[in-house]
Structure 1
Amino acid sequence: MTESPEQQPAVPGRLRRLRPAFVPPRWWPLPVCALLGAACGFSYGMLATPQYASTGYVMVTAGKDTDPAATLGYAQSYGRLATSDTTLAYAKGAAGEPVRELRTHVRSETSPDSPMIAVTGTSADRGRASDIANAVTEALVVAGGHVSKDTGVKLIKFSHAVPPTDPASPSTPLGTAVGASAGGLAGALVLLVRPRPARRDVTAQVPGPSHGGSADERELVR
């Protein structure tokens, strides 16, 4: 039975644009990286062992015939010697650790404006952290005294290190915030360096009826 022209399905169009059901936004790496960073920071804060830090101070003083301005330069030099093998060899007995292990738990800092040397000991035990700092500062004072006649300066122990009350390692909330910030920064960098995808349209031809239609539509179907 032949359908009448009125009963034949209408041609919806020559081409129909096909789009995927869901396209994630281009900025999706930003929240994903931020969430991953927050998860890593939270895990670190929960699982990492708290570390304590205690600091003692050593002062460089000038001798009778020494220019006081020279103490600034000597403070820089002795600050670098605080973590040397020679100084740590003096301190290992009082610290109760070998030189190799002690080097990973002590650091020194100096200022270009003050003849002061800060020696910081770190440990998972708060009392141990202060013991390490005091052992290294005393060893530095002894080492400086051996050459005081040649240098014209003297090292004195200015401040004693005491056991800290709070850990120096970041807390869980702080670790989570830092991790989220680092993850967000990484996601932003991904967005900056990622090439913009080319826009491509997927088209499909919709066949028309075997009879009727315009000449262009019959040519397209053919």
Structure 2
Amino acid sequence: MTETPAQTPAAPGRTRRLRSALRPPVWWPLPACALLGAACGISYGLLTPKSYEATGYAMTVAATKTTDPVAALGYAQSYGRLATGDATLGYAQGAAGEPLRKLRGHVRAETSPDSPMIAVTGTASRPRQAAEIADAVVEALIVSGGHVSKDTGVKLIQFTHAVAPNDPASPSVPLSAAVGGSAGGLVGGLLLLVRRRPEEHPAQAPAQVPGPAHEAESLMPEEREPAR
């Protein structure tokens, strides 16, 4: 009767090598996070509506010959804060073509401590509308400043009109993808730095209890008992 040879089990070393080959590399978070960030950047660039920005400039000047030029510089900071106030925007909403509630989020003003210039920037989904918003707020600011110019000694003039931009201010899809991929790669690198690796501790040999023979060997020659 012929006996079927028993199947030899796989060697433990071969199994470990197979598991090591199937295990992902330790640096896998870096490309994974970079790809995820790039995908998020592309989605942001595609889904975010385009917005355009246009900037108009107003300048504070002395209304009379006796007005100190430093006063015009100081009033420029005050008028810059008033440019986004409800009183100015309420007067500008008719020319801007937007209600006051919506106009608040589409206007910003910037000033410099070294210049009497006031920059008013309008934001809209169309280039021409962005320029109209900026010019409307500048004109409203000039009218408001003219009402109190006799008291302050300072008046505002329009330095330049806003020009409709050709390119949107919102980031493009390639730029969003690059920023998202860079941010994802940075996060993946940080994960690699803080990731803990299991430490292998060598097996400690069990402590040996000294027996009589070991005790005798550990004694000095003069301490040993003479053989009888």
Q: Which one has a bigger Cα radius of gyration?
A: 2
Q: Give the number of aligned pairs.
A: 190
Cα-Cα RMSD? 2.6
Residue matched to 2:73: 72
With normalisation by structure 1, the TM-score equals 0.77
RCO comparison, higher one (Cα < 8 Å, 6+):
1
- CA separation of 1:107/1:24 partners in 2, compared to 1, >3 Å: closer, same or farther? same
SS in 2 for 1:69: helix
1:92 aligns with 2:93: yes
What do residues 95-125 of structure 1 show as CA deviations (whole Å, max 9, x unaligned)? Answer: 1211110011111111122111111111111
Residue matched to 1:122: 123
Residue matched to 2:223: none
SS in 1 for 2:69: coil
Residue matched to 1:215: none
1:24 CA drift (Å): 3.0
Structure 1 stretches of 5 or more lacking a match?
Answer: 1-8, 204-222
Amino acid at match of 1:160: H
What do residues 50-101 of structure 1 show as CA deviations (whole Å, max 9, x unaligned)? Answer: 1111110001112322221222222111111111111111111111211110
Residues in 2 aligned to 1:119 and 1:52: alpha-carbon distance in whole angstroms:
14
1:177 CA drift (Å): 1.0
| Structure with the higher helix share, 1 or 2 | 2
SS in 1 for 2:171: coil
Residues in 2 aligned to 1:90 and 1:142: alpha-carbon distance in whole angstroms:
9
Residue matched to 2:160: 159
Residue matched to 1:142: 143
Residue matched to 2:185: 184
1:34 aligns with 2:26: no
Consecutive aligned runs of 4 or more in structure 1 exceeding 6 Å deviation: none
- CA separation of 1:84/1:191 partners in 2, compared to 1, >3 Å: closer, same or farther? farther
Residues in 1 aligned to 2:179 and 2:54: alpha-carbon distance in whole angstroms:
24
1:173 CA drift (Å): 1.1
Residues in 2 aligned to 1:16 and 1:183: alpha-carbon distance in whole angstroms:
37
Residues in 2 aligned to 1:30 and 1:191: alpha-carbon distance in whole angstroms:
8
Residue matched to 1:4: none
Residue matched to 1:174: 175
- CA separation of 1:198/1:162 partners in 2, compared to 1, >3 Å: closer, same or farther? same
- CA separation of 1:34/1:149 partners in 2, compared to 1, >3 Å: closer, same or farther? same
With normalisation by structure 2, the TM-score equals 0.75
1:58 aligns with 2:79: no
What do residues 140-170 of structure 1 show as CA deviations (whole Å, max 9, x unaligned)? Answer: 1111111212222111011111211111111
Amino acid at match of 2:132: D
Residue matched to 2:110: 109
SS in 2 for 1:87: helix
Residues in 2 aligned to 1:178 and 1:16: alpha-carbon distance in whole angstroms:
44
- Give identity over the alignment, percent: 65
